[in-house]
Amino acid sequence: MEVLRICGEIPLQGEVNISGSKNAALPQFAATLLSHEKSILKNVPDLSDVQFMGKIISELGADVNQLDKTTWEINPANISHCAPYELVRKMRASICLLGPLVGRLRKAEVPMPGGCVIGQRPIDLHVRALEVLGATVELDKGKVVVDAINLKGSHIFLGGRNGSTVTGTSNAIMAAVLAPGTTKIESAACEPEIIDLCNMLAKMGAMIRGIGSHILQIDGVTHLHGCTHEVIPDRIEAATYAIAAAITKGNILIKNVCTEHLGSFINLINEIGVAVNNSGFNQISVKAEQQSIQSFEVITLPYPGFPTDLQAQCCALACKAQGTSILTERVYPSRFMHVPELLRMGADISMEGASCMVKGGINLIGAPVMASDLRASAALILAGLAAKGKTWVQRIYHLDRGYDSFEKKLQALGANIERVPESKLPKSF
Q: Which residues are catalytic?
A: 116
35-70 burial code (b ≥16 CB/10 A, e <16): bebbbbbebbbebbbbebbbbbbbbbbbebeeeeeb
Q: What are the residues facing 63 on neighbouring strands?
A: 75
Nearest alpha-carbon partner for 169 in 133, 194, 202: 194
Distance of CA 19 to the CA centre of its chain: 12
Other C-beta atoms within 10 Å of 117: how many? 14
The gap between the terminal CA atoms of the chain, to the nearest Å, is 17
CA dihedral 311, 251, 403, 373 (to 10 degrees): -30
CA distance 244 to 2: 22
CA dihedral 341, 347, 351, 357 (to 10 degrees): -140
Could you give phi then psi for residue 416, rounded to 5 degrees? Answer: -95, 85
Decide: 375 and 341 in contact? Cβ < 8 Å: no
Q: Is 414 left (phi over 0), alpha (psi -120 to 50) or beta?
A: left
CA distance 31 to 201: 8
Other C-beta atoms within 10 Å of 257: how many? 24
Nearest alpha-carbon partner for 396 in 416, 417, 366: 417
